């Protein structure tokens, strides 16, 4: 199976060249994943005609997965009630006699930037603490992370409190979890009502390694089916410091650096690393939203299709939930927009991004970089490291290779095209199960 996957990858190499950063280019060099690749000429008329048909299918898919088309009546009510629930918890957290004093709620994620697809079943929020740490942030032991440092040897009472409670992100995270558990447990079953239905707080959970706390709610419309929703709430420290000292990598694109300087609000999220309990993850929510809102229409549609593909892959193999996460797809899309010409078909951009992901996976150490902090490998904590036999990386490569093959050879009708996309993931799952049986 691995040999077959490699042959499929070679057979699609030409197509990857066609799509790199758009349709047809004069031969040039472009940097992808820290190495140069060729962008070759192509004037294959038959291929172009076929891709025009696929373009029509992708346009239809974008309309089908549109969240507004799927939830025309209740979408606004869901968004309003979810925010009302978060705001309620926010005031409850601040009403406790705790060491935390939160000063704001920031809506983040796909719903906030307008790229959520299928259903409004996931929401993300930051609950922020406004701390004056302009002289207390330093680059950490991993790319995309920071440490909080106190700079005064004669610390005041406030500085001592700050150092003791926030210097170690693991301490900050655990204290917030305890407070969150205390508050939410008291309000299980609380109902928030709207004209078209109501929202019930059903429960909560805390991931083992993640910084967020998750609230489970149930949307019960007056007409239609109920919808289970997960709301992730993450504590964050606002950092007003100039980010130039945190983003010094030469690989940062000039336009991205300008965007970061214009949108310089940074949030520090407590996410300790396995080797360091002081690390805070840098979250560039302001710059992220600005970049997402500036996407051209064909790039926005491409991102929606990428998220659809990611969901299909996760449905058949949940192990890849981090490799093909919504955030990973967004970062890959952003990397593409840096080099892509304007007004290209969605299919060209889609195949280009998939080829880019293939190049990232094929590196000795699979690496997908953030456009904001290129030294950060988004895949560093995933299970795609190459191993003996058929590894998760081999399967991930096969998934993307098969998707490219579907774009090149799929049937004429829309239904057949969608079935082929889903079958690509189904085939990979079957291959994985077969290999497991053979090994045992």
The answer, yes or no, to whether residue 303 has pLDDT greater than 70, is yes
The per-residue pLDDT for 164 is 55
Write the DSSP symbol of residue 340. Answer: P
Q: What is the mean predicted confidence (pLDDT) over 38-59?
A: 67
Tell me if 124 sits within 8 A of 105, measured CB to CB: no
Tokens coding 92: 């409850």
Confidence at 244, pLDDT banded by 50, 70, 90: low
CB distance 146 to 279 below 8 Å: yes
Distance CA 201, CA 209 (A): 24
Say which DSSP state 319 is in: G
Q: What is the pLDDT of residue 206?
A: 78
- The residue ranking higher by pLDDT, 15 or 425, is 425
Q: In the chain, what is the straight-line distance between the N-terminal and C-terminal CA atoms, in Å? A: 17
Burial (CB < 10 A; 0-12, 13-18, 19+), residue 377, is buried
Over pLDDT 90: what percentage of the chain?
33
In this predicted structure, the answer to whether residue 19 has a pLDDT above a threshold of 50 is: no
Q: How many C-beta neighbours within 10 Å does residue 166 have? A: 23
Q: Please report the pLDDT score of residue 37 as a whole number.
A: 33
Closest CA to 367 of 411, 306, 323: 323
- Is a pLDDT exceeding 90 seen at residue 321? no
Average confidence (pLDDT) over 319-336: 91
Give the CA distances from residue 122 to residues 113, 116, 230, 233, 374, in Å, rounded to whole numbers and listed in that order: 13, 9, 5, 11, 27
Question: How far, in Å, CA of 223 to CA of 226, rounded?
Answer: 9
Structure token pair of residue 232 = 């992730």
Q: How far apart are CA 361 and CA 393, in angstroms?
A: 7
Handedness of CA 99, 103, 108, 111 (dihedral sign): positive
Res 229 pLDDT > 90: yes
> Could you tell me the CA-to-CA distances from 301 to 24, 140, 231, 292, 329 in Å, in that order?
20, 36, 25, 12, 12
pLDDT at 35: 36
Task: Read off the pTM.
Answer: 0.82
Q: How would residue 41 be classed by pLDDT, with cut points 50, 70 and 90? A: very low
Q: What per-residue confidence (pLDDT) applies to 429?
A: 44
The number of residues in the chain equals 440
Mean pLDDT score, 216-226: 92
Which pLDDT value is given to residue 150?
55
Write down the mean pLDDT value for the chain: 77
Alpha helices (H) along 188-253: none
Distance, CA of 302 to CA of 62 (rounded, Å): 9
When mean pLDDT is compared across 209-223, 380-394, 404-418, the lowest value belongs to 380-394
Task: Write down the pLDDT at residue 388.
Answer: 44
pLDDT tier at 139 (50, 70, 90 boundaries)? low
Residue 67: per-residue pLDDT: 84
On the question of pLDDT at 29 being above 50, the answer is no
Q: Choose between 166 and 36: higher pLDDT.
A: 166
Q: With 90 as the cut, is the pLDDT of residue 254 above it?
A: no
Supply the pLDDT for residue 211. 83
Place of tokens 């983003």: 247
pLDDT range class, residue 212, cuts 50, 70, 90? confident
State the alpha helices, DSSP H only, in 96-168.
Answer: 109-113, 157-166
Backbone phi and psi for residue 159, each to the nearest 5 degrees, phi listed first: -65, -35
What would the mean pLDDT of 287-314 be, rounded to a whole number?
A: 93
Residue 247 has pLDDT above 80, yes or no: no
Query: In the structure, what pLDDT confidence band is assigned to residue 49 with cuts at 50, 70 and 90?
Result: confident
| Confidence check: pLDDT of 191 > 90 | yes
> Considering the chain, what percentage of its residues have pLDDT values greater than 70?
72
Lowest mean pLDDT of 97-101, 105-109, 150-154, 395-399, name the range.
150-154
Residues sharing a CB contact under 8 Å with residue 22, sequence separation 6 or more, in sequence order:
340, 341, 344, 348, 349, 352
Task: Decide if pLDDT at 437 tops 50.
Answer: no
What pLDDT, on the 0 to 100 scale, is given for residue 246? Answer: 58
Per-residue pLDDT averaged across 45-73, rounded? Answer: 81
Summarize pLDDT for 101-136 with one digit per residue, the tens. Answer: 888 999 999 999 989 999 999 999 999 986 655 445
- What integer pLDDT is reported at residue 140 of this predicted model? 63
**Any idea which of 67-71, 162-166, 360-364 has the lowest mean pLDDT?**
162-166
- With 0-12 / 13-18 / 19 or more C-beta atoms within 10 angstroms meaning exposed / middle / buried, residue 399 is buried
Average pLDDT over residues 80-106: 88
Instruction: Select the more confidently predicted residue: 209 or 314.
Output: 314
pLDDT for res 393: 82
Count of Cβ atoms closer than 10 Å to residue 12 Cβ: 25
* Structural domains in the chain plus CATH codes: 2-67+295-439 (no CATH), 74-284 (3.30.460.90)
Mean pLDDT of 50-65: 90
Residues paired with 145 in a beta bridge: 281
């Amino acid at each position: 199976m691995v040999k077959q996957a490699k042959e499929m990858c070679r057979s699609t190499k030409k197509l990857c060249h066609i799509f790199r950063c758009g349709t047809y280019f004069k031969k040039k060099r472009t940097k992808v994943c820290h190495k140069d690749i060729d962008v070759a000429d192509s004037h294959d008329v038959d291929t172009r005609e076929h891709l025009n048909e696929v373009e029509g299918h992708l346009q239809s898919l974008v309309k089908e997965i549109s969240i507004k088309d799927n939830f025309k009546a209740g979408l606004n009510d869901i968004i309003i009630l979810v925010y009302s629930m978060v705001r309620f918890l926010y005031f409850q957290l601040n009403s406790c006699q705790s060491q935390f004093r939160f000063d704001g709620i920031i809506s983040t994620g796909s719903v906030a930037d307008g790229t959520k697809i299928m259903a409004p079943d996931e929401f993300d929020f930051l609950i922020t603490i406004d701390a004056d740490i302009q002289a207390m942030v330093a680059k950490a032991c991993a790319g995309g992370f920071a440490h909080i440092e106190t700079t005064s040897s004669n610390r005041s009472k406030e500085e001592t409190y700050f150092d003791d409670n926030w210097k170690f992100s693991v301490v900050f995270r655990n204290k917030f979890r305890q407070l969150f558990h205390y508050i939410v447990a008291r309000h299980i079953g609380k109902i928030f009502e709207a004209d078209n239905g109501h929202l019930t707080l059903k429960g909560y959970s805390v991931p083992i390694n993640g910084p967020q706390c998750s609230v489970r709610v149930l949307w019960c419309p007056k007409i239609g089916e109920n919808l289970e929703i997960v709301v992730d709430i993450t504590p964050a420290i606002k950092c007003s410091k100039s980010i130039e000292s945190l983003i010094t990598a030469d690989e940062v694109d000039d336009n991205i650096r300008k965007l970061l300087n214009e949108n310089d609000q940074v949030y520090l999220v407590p996410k300790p690393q396995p080797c360091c309990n002081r690390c805070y993850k840098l979250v560039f929510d302001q710059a992220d939203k600005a970049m997402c809102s500036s996407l051209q229409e064909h790039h926005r549609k491409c991102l929606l299709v990428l998220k659809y593909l990611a969901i299909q892959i996760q449905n058949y193999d949940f192990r890849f939930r981090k490799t093909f996460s919504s955030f990973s797809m967004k970062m890959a899309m952003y990397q593409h927009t840096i080099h892509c010409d304007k007004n290209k078909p969605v299919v060209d951009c889609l195949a280009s991004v998939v080829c880019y992901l293939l190049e990232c996976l094929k590196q000795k150490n699979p690496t997908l970089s953030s456009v904001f902090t290129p030294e950060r490998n988004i895949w560093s904590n995933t299970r795609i490291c190459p191993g003996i036999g058929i590894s998760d990386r081999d399967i991930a490569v096969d998934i993307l290779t098969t998707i490219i093959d579907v774009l090149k050879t799929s049937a004429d009708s829309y239904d057949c095209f969608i079935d082929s996309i889903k079958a690509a993931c189904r085939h990979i799952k079957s291959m994985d199960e077969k290999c497991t049986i053979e090994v045992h």
